[in-house]
Amino acid sequence: MTTIQRTAVLTGATSDRGIGITTARRYAREGWGVVILDLDGEKSAKVAAEIGNEFNVPAYGHEIDVANEASVTTAQAAVAAEVAAGNLPPVGALANIAGITSPVPFLETTLELWHKIMDVNATGTYLVTKAFLPDMIGNGWGRIVNMSSVSAQRGGGVFGKVPYSAAKAAILGLTKALARELGTTGVTVNAITPGAVDTNIRVGSTEEQEAAINAGIPLGRNASTEEVASVITFLSSEDSAYLTGTVVDINGGSHMH
Ligand SMILES: NC(=O)c1ccc[n+]([C@@H]2O[C@H](COP(=O)([O-])OP(=O)(O)OC[C@H]3O[C@@H](n4cnc5c(N)ncnc54)[C@H](O)[C@@H]3O)[C@@H](O)[C@H]2O)c1
């Protein structure tokens, strides 16, 4: 077996048809150890074990609520203990993928909904990054990939409305400011802005809504989760060394700027 040198930590990577699980499999295929962090701890462990067995890489799963600081601290400590015990290689990449959306029109939103969408998407990215960053800085190497959305750039237009666009835009600001601050530490921070991706996140959207989305995409279709995963693992690789504070569009041409 090849020596696995680094571990990729992914949040939001247990959803069956999600971007996270496809990305976790891709990391494993490329020879990374894999950590799956998601709301359901048992499912996280199960998905991790399946990926570990299939690709013969170290893998570990743990519960996390990215919006809850205590939960994030607990999850990071559990991962650090696995690394210290030699069960996982050091954490080299963090993919902040966990996210939720909402199609509720602005005047129908509640403050509670606003906070929920901001908490999971933006605050979650902040908390998880803050928890895993010190070890990456200590190792002098790291890759952080944050999940934004084309909605942040063009004011929605896919499914999520105002709170989602605002939260995903906050992630772009976080990404750029942190990239600048980390400078020469060896840790890069980048964001991706997918357009419509073929997952379960838009469950509830109608055929008409889906047709309208596709009509606005020059490539005429949603992205596959693999087409997003490949960009995330590229941004986690040695090859992306000179990219930091970058926003990579994956939108089939639906937003050119
Ligand atoms: N699917 C799209 O069209 C699309 C487009 C652009 C961006 N995105 C973003 O990509 C990411 C993944 O989306 P997806 O389509 O795979 O969605 P998904 O719903 O299939 O997966 C989201 C995952 O996040 C997890 N999650 C939700 N809240 C969490 C929390 N508080 N703590 C930990 N985990 C939590 C869920 O359990 C799930 O595994 C999201 O951030 C989403 O906003 C999706």
Domain extent, residue 21, equals 7-250
Q: Active-site positions?
A: 164
Residue 189 resides in a domain:
yes
CB distance 97 to 19 below 8 Å: yes
Residue 256 resides in a domain:
no
Residue 223 resides in a domain:
yes
H-type alpha helices, the chain: 19-29, 41-55, 69-84, 111-118, 124-139, 150-154, 162-182, 207-215, 225-235
Query: Given this model, what pLDDT does residue 131 score?
Result: 99
How far is ligand 1, taken at its centre, from the CA of residue 120, in Å? Answer: 9
- In this structure, what CATH number is given to the domain that contains residue 222? 3.40.50.720
Rounded Cα gap, residues 159 and 83, in angstroms: 39
Residue 255 resides in a domain:
no
Closest to 18 in 3D by CA, of 38, 42, 45: 38
* pLDDT interval class at 2 (50, 70, 90): low
Given a cut of 50, whether residue 20 has pLDDT beyond it is: yes
Query: Given this model, what pLDDT does residue 64 score?
Result: 99
Given a cut of 80, whether residue 202 has pLDDT beyond it is: no
Q: Is the pTM of this model over 0.95?
A: yes
What does pLDDT average to over the chain? 96
Count how many domains the chain has. Answer: 1
DSSP of 137-165, one letter per residue?
HHHT-EEEEEE--HHHHHT--SS--HHHH
Of all protein residues, the one whose alpha carbon is nearest to atom 42 of ligand 1 is 99
Phi/psi-derived region of residue 210, left when phi > 0, alpha when psi is between -120 and 50, beta in every other case: alpha
Residue 79 resides in a domain:
yes
38 backbone dihedrals φ, ψ, rounded to 5°: -150, 175
Residue 2 resides in a domain:
no
Query: Given this model, what pLDDT does residue 247 score?
Result: 98
Given a cut of 60, whether residue 1 has pLDDT beyond it is: no
Query: Given this model, what pLDDT does residue 3 score?
Result: 65
Q: What is the mean pLDDT of residues 162-169?
A: 98
The predicted-structure confidence for 74-131, as pLDDT tens digits, reads as follows 999 999 999 999 999 999 999 999 999 999 999 999 999 999 999 999 999 999 999 9
Residue 78 resides in a domain:
yes
Q: What is the mean pLDDT of residues 220-227?
A: 96
For the CA of 196, the closest atom of ligand 1 is 3
Within 13 A of 65's CA, how many CA atoms are on the CB side? 7
Of all protein residues, the one whose alpha carbon is nearest to atom 19 of ligand 1 is 201
How far is ligand 1, taken at its centre, from the CA of residue 243, in Å? Answer: 24
Q: What pairing do the DSSP bridges indicate for beta strands 33-38 and 142-147?
A: unpaired
How far is ligand 1, taken at its centre, from the CA of residue 33, in Å? Answer: 21
For the CA of 120, the closest atom of ligand 1 is 31
Residue 174 resides in a domain:
yes
Query: Given this model, what pLDDT does residue 201 score?
Result: 79
Of all protein residues, the one whose alpha carbon is nearest to atom 41 of ligand 1 is 99
Using a 6 Å CB cutoff, which residues line ligand 1? 11-12, 14-15, 18-20, 38-39, 64-67, 97-101, 120, 124, 147, 149, 194, 196-197, 199-201
Partnered with residue 35 across adjacent β-strands are 9, 60
22 exposure class (CB count in 10 Å sphere: 0-12, 13-18, 19+)? buried
